[in-house]
Amino acid sequence: MYSGAAAAAGPPRRDFISVALGPEEAIGVGGYNNSKAWRRRSCWRKWKQLSRLQRSVILFLFAFLAVCGVISYTSMGETWKSITNKSLDDQRTEQEIPRLKLANPAVLPAPQKADANHGDYPELSLQKPPKLPHVRRGPSNLQIKAPQRDTRLKTRHETMRAVEELVKEEKVEKTEKSIISWRGAVIEPDQSTEPPSSKITEPEKPSSLEAEDQKEPVPINERQLAVIEAFRHAWKGYKDFAWGHDELKPLSKSYSEWFGLGLTLIDALDTMWILGLKEEFEEARKWVANDLVFDKNVDVNLFESTIRILGGLLSTYHLSGDSLFLEKAKDIGNRLMPAFKTPSKIPYSDVNIGRGTAHPPRWTSDSTVAEVTSIQLEFRELSRLTGDEKFQKAVDEVMKHVHTLSGKNDGLVPMFINTNSGQFTHLGVYTLGARADSYYEYLLKQWIQGGKKENELLEDYMRAIEGVKKHLLQRSEPKKLTFVGELAHGHFSAKMDHLVCFLPGTLALGAHNGLAADHMKLAETLIETCYQMYAQVETGLSPEIVHFNLHAQKGHKDVEIKPADRHNLLRPETVESLFYMYRFTGDKKYQDWGWEILQNFNRYTRVPTGGYTSINNVQNPSNPEPRDKMESFFLGETLKYMFLLFSDDIDLINLDKYIFNTEAHPLPIWVPA
């Protein structure tokens, strides 16, 4: 403090604290003397001149300042220590990142986020990425490396160590947390009885992962090689004449366009991955990266583009770990959402993915029941991966609504539903074939996908199978084959679509997941029937629809075929069910039946210049009348299921960890067994 005026005014008042440092004190009287002794003496003199009160106040001030100094030093020390520790931790984390990258990328379980896209999903960026190791599958000698994968740790031993550490860390984390939080929601790890469809759960590590990873890969066999050869032949035709287009027309060496989105290429991506076709996969990936554009003024069918494009992209993302496929899946998923903007929330059949508009078919405001109830696996998975609930909400709402609807017959549903009223229409006709088939399939599969907690789905599935048994099962003559017919206004028809042959596989999958054992018995009976739909036909290939004989007639087989139904579109359903049956029973006859079918596809549908074709007449081996079209599901489903059927490696798409969508695209089970 400086107060020259106070010094000049005489002795300071005792109650007024003032330290006067006049110029004379600063420079000394008579000249400048800055010696230490002089300064000490001068300070002491000054101190003596102060009153007792002034001295006490100064002493108190010094003491106070000293205490403050000590306190702030201690707390600064703590802060400094924690900063130092944190930076050490950070360094450690950075060192661990390569290991995480190696073990985690992709495959399965982890709902992986596209790393480049945190900006789009800010809430997700707060989430700790699940530490679930990625076990790459596919034939060992044809293993494909993930396109964007960290390859720093290369040996099996190193990988295993990384996996072990991650598993350990995860265990610690689990015991520390009694609840888990995902996208801001707090969820009990052990699910309660709350309606599960409203919840999105965090996926967990497959329990058998460690053991699985230690197993030596099973070598591929001759039959699998034959499937690879068939795939390559089909792919050659597509590549030469239809690259980037929807479907190959192998005879005219051209292509057909449905949505104009490279349907065959996308449908085939995960098949290439599973078959180990690295070069083909890389080439197709480039097309997806550079040429697949969804911003197009084009009408697409919601169901078809969901199961083939969205499903194909999601499964390829899971298998490869390549975020490109997730980005594309998000894009198409968002573009399909306008379909749900209807008065009833039952989606329209068609969406213009460029304009963002949706509409029903021109002649009706109805949608097909199978279509609106077989898009759930894909949209639910998209929600889980992106953290955006809107996809799951939209499709769950459809299922909840259908659950409550009247017009069912012992769990069997009509084929149409109105997008305005939300009610079933065309009541009284029940089939497990076209327009209803995958409704039943997705009841079971959603229940499995979600960890077997969504009871309404299970109830609807179980009731429907009872409905099938009660109303639709009959036995044919002379072989007494059990088949699934149709019911139209109380009248039974002995007609069965080839599409119904998904059912044995679905029943077997349900039984494998703990449902009634008699479902497995029924599956065994029905797959025999589906096989006979091939075996009793001249080309050894099934027609699109058969009619079973209910009465024995001399010279008649069980299976009758009407001229309008004798085409074969290279469909997968029987091979699909054979795959499930072989996986769950180990009975080699299922592989043999599949092998016969593959040979007959080669005999009657293979086009020498590349590709396979659907045919018009399965009853005429000398001229099956090629139709000049290779459906995308031949590569997406039929050949994939063939390859898996011939494999003895149950970990090649383990059915306790993956659930196949209705287009054969495997998606992770959220809570694997």
The angle subtended at Cα 584 by Cα 647 and Cα 206, nearest 5°, is: 80
From candidates 344, 383, 438, 476, binder to ligand DMJ by CB under 6 A = 438
Compute the distance between CA of residue 326 and CA of residue 320 in angstroms, rounded to an integer. Answer: 11
Instruction: Tell me if 109 contacts ligand DMJ by CB under 6 A.
Output: no
Q: Please name the amino acid found at residue 611.
A: G
From candidates 662, 666, 670, 672, binder to ligand DMJ by CB under 6 A = 662
Instruction: Tell me if 663 contacts ligand DMJ by CB under 6 A.
Output: yes
Q: Where are the alpha helices (H) located in 348-470, listed in sequence order?
A: 369-372, 376-386, 390-404, 437-449, 455-467
Compute the distance between CA of residue 217 and CA of residue 139 in angstroms, rounded to an integer. Answer: 7
Instruction: Tell me if 366 contacts ligand DMJ by CB under 6 A.
Output: no
From candidates 113, 567, 571, 657, binder to ligand DMJ by CB under 6 A = 571
Rounded to a whole number of angstroms, the minimum distance from the CB of residue 545 to ligand DMJ is 13
From candidates 604, 633, 646, 658, binder to ligand DMJ by CB under 6 A = 633
Residue 375's nearest CA partner among 577, 661, 576, 660 is 661
Instruction: Tell me if 271 contacts ligand DMJ by CB under 6 A.
Output: no
Residue with Cβ nearer ligand DMJ (103 or 507) = 507
Q: Which two tokens stand for residue 361?
A: 């078919």
437 is catalytic: yes
Instruction: Tell me if 360 contacts ligand DMJ by CB under 6 A.
Output: no
CA distances from 409 to 387, 485, 611 (A): 37, 15, 43
Residue with Cβ nearer ligand DMJ (312 or 451) = 312
* Site track 516-555 with ligand DMJ (rule: CB under 6 A), x = hit: ----------------------------------------
Extract the annotated binding site for Ca(2+): 662
Rounded to a whole number of angstroms, the minimum distance from the CB of residue 333 to ligand DMJ is 18
304 is catalytic: yes
From candidates 109, 347, 572, 626, binder to ligand DMJ by CB under 6 A = 572
List of residues 6+ apart from 94 with CB closer than 8 A = none
Instruction: Tell me if 378 contacts ligand DMJ by CB under 6 A.
Output: no
Residue with Cβ nearer ligand DMJ (304 or 456) = 304
Residues between 275 and 304 that touch ligand DMJ (CB under 6 A): none
Instruction: Name the DSSP class of 351.
Output: E
Options 204, 213, 246, 573, the catalytic residue: 573
Residue 644's nearest CA partner among 333, 330, 221, 341 is 221
Instruction: Tell me if 641 contacts ligand DMJ by CB under 6 A.
Output: no
* Site track 385-424 with ligand DMJ (rule: CB under 6 A), x = hit: ----------------------------------------
Options 246, 247, 280, 544, the catalytic residue: 544
Q: To 10 degrees, what angle do helices 639-646 and 573-585 make?
A: 20
Instruction: Tell me if 238 contacts ligand DMJ by CB under 6 A.
Output: no
Residue with Cβ nearer ligand DMJ (182 or 660) = 660
Residue with Cβ nearer ligand DMJ (237 or 572) = 572
Compute the distance between CA of residue 486 and CA of residue 409 in angstroms, rounded to an integer. Answer: 12
247 is catalytic: no
Compute the distance between CA of residue 476 and CA of residue 494 in angstroms, rounded to an integer. Answer: 9
* Beta pairing, strands 247-249 & 254-256: antiparallel
Options 270, 304, 366, 441, the catalytic residue: 304
Three-state DSSP class for 141? helix
Q: Which two tokens stand for residue 336?
A: 């399909």
Instruction: Tell me if 614 contacts ligand DMJ by CB under 6 A.
Output: no
Residue with Cβ nearer ligand DMJ (227 or 432) = 432
* Beta pairing, strands 545-548 & 486-488: unpaired
Residue nearest to ligand DMJ (CB): 662
Per the CB < 8 A criterion, the answer to whether 538 and 618 are in contact is yes
Compute the distance between CA of residue 53 and CA of residue 92 in angstroms, rounded to an integer. Answer: 59
Burial-class residue 550 by CB neighbours within 10 Å (0-12, 13-18, 19+): middle
625 is catalytic: no
Looking at the DSSP bridge assignments, the partners of residue 568 are: 615
Count of CB atoms situated within 10 Å of the CB of 39: 12
For 259-333, where are the E strands, in sequence order?
299-301
Residue with Cβ nearer ligand DMJ (110 or 329) = 329
Rounded to a whole number of angstroms, the minimum distance from the CB of residue 662 to ligand DMJ is 4
Q: Which residues are catalytic?
A: 304, 437, 544, 573
* Binding-site ranges for ligand DMJ (CB under 6 A): 438, 499, 571-572, 633, 637, 662-663
